[in-house]
């Protein structure tokens, strides 16, 4: 099955839109092949500001109808407590919010950007999507991440080479409570590193300590900026360290 065939069979749909590579291409294809399409961006504490800005930009460029739904996921106890299954409760809250808004707008079919490269398995977040009958056209059509990047580039989408980005909550280890302060520290720390030109990195937090993870090829650049990094991240963390195992 192709995306054109999928949207010919399902011309009316609501899309869970994050502003990332996959949901961006899904929205592009839906606009190209679908009929009545609306994107829903859930704006929670777990998304950095740049994701919202990217989502708005792409919606404008595609002339797509997008609704922004504010949601405090930290108000969900099983999310803020941060158990290993946190993603399950978070996805439930997010997609129930989308489903309610979509139903009010006349949409019954909810789509997300899971692709064929993603490990569906029994991951908590994937289980929540199955329970809520969310469909994943990119996965159903066998489109992998490299293919989606290639097709996005051909389509002229600025998201085609956007780095993969996991939500801010993933920087805090399971079992450690998630707070607005920890999320804000993560967002500011990562924004500063991005301003220095670093890519594909994470600033992880554990009991108030910050640990930078980035590809080994960027280690020398990090050391060149060591003093500035310490100065700008020190207000948020007790100590700042580098994970020498590096990101791959």
pTM for this predicted structure? 0.90
Largest CA distance in the chain: 57
All CATH 3.40.50.620 domain ranges of the chain, comma separated, are 3-161
Asked whether the CA dihedral 213, 216, 218, 222 is positive or negative, the reply is positive
State residue 18's pLDDT score: 93
The architecture that CATH gives domain 179-242 is: 2-Layer Sandwich (3.30)
Task: Compute the distance between CA of residue 101 and CA of residue 73 in angstroms, rounded to an integer.
Answer: 16
Please state the rounded mean pLDDT for residues 225-237. 96
Judge contact between 196 and 227, C-beta under 8 A.
no
Task: Compute the distance between CA of residue 200 and CA of residue 68 in angstroms, rounded to an integer.
Answer: 27
Judge contact between 132 and 95, C-beta under 8 A.
yes
Q: What tens digit of pLDDT does each residue of 174-215 get?
A: 999 999 999 999 999 999 999 999 998 999 998 999 999 999
pLDDT band at residue 247 using 50, 70 and 90 as cut-offs = confident
Mean pLDDT of the chain: 93
All CATH 3.30.70 domain ranges of the chain, comma separated, are 179-242
**Worst-scoring range by mean pLDDT, 11-15, 24-28, 32-36, 219-223?**
32-36
Q: What percent of the chain has pLDDT over 70?
A: 98
Question: 3.40.640.10, 3.40.120.10, 3.40.50.970, 3.40.50.620: which CATH number matches 3-161?
Answer: 3.40.50.620
Per this entry, what is the length of the chain?
248
Q: Please tell me what DSSP assigns to residue 25.
A: H
């Amino acid at each position: 099955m192709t995306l054109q065939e999928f949207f010919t069979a399902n011309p009316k749909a609501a899309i869970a839109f994050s502003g990332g590579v996959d949901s961006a291409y899904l929205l592009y294809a839906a606009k190209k092949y679908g009929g009545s399409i609306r994107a829903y961006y859930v704006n929670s504490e777990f998304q950095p500001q740049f994701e919202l800005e990217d989502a708005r930009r792409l919606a404008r460029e595609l002339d797509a109808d997008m609704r922004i739904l504010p949601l405090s996921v930290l108000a969900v106890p099983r999310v803020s407590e941060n158990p290993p299954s946190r993603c399950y409760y978070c996805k439930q809250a997010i997609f129930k919010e989308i489903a309610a808004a979509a139903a009010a707008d006349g949409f019954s079919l909810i789509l997300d950007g899971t692709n064929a490269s993603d490990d569906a398995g029994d991951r908590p977040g994937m289980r929540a999507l199955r329970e809520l009958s969310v469909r994943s056209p990119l996965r159903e059509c066998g489109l992998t991440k490299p293919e989606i990047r290639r097709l996005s580039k051909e389509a002229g989408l600025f998201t085609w080479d956007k780095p993969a980005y996991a939500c801010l909550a993933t920087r805090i280890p399971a079992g450690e409570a998630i707070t607005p302060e920890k999320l804000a520290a993560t967002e500011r720390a990562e924004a500063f590193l991005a301003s220095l030109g670093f890519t594909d990195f994470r600033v992880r937090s554990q009991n108030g300590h910050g640990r930078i993870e980035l590809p080994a090829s960027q280690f020398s650049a990090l050391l060149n900026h060591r003093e500035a990094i310490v100065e700008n991240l020190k207000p948020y963390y007790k100590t700042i360290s580098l994970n020498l195992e590096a990101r791959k």
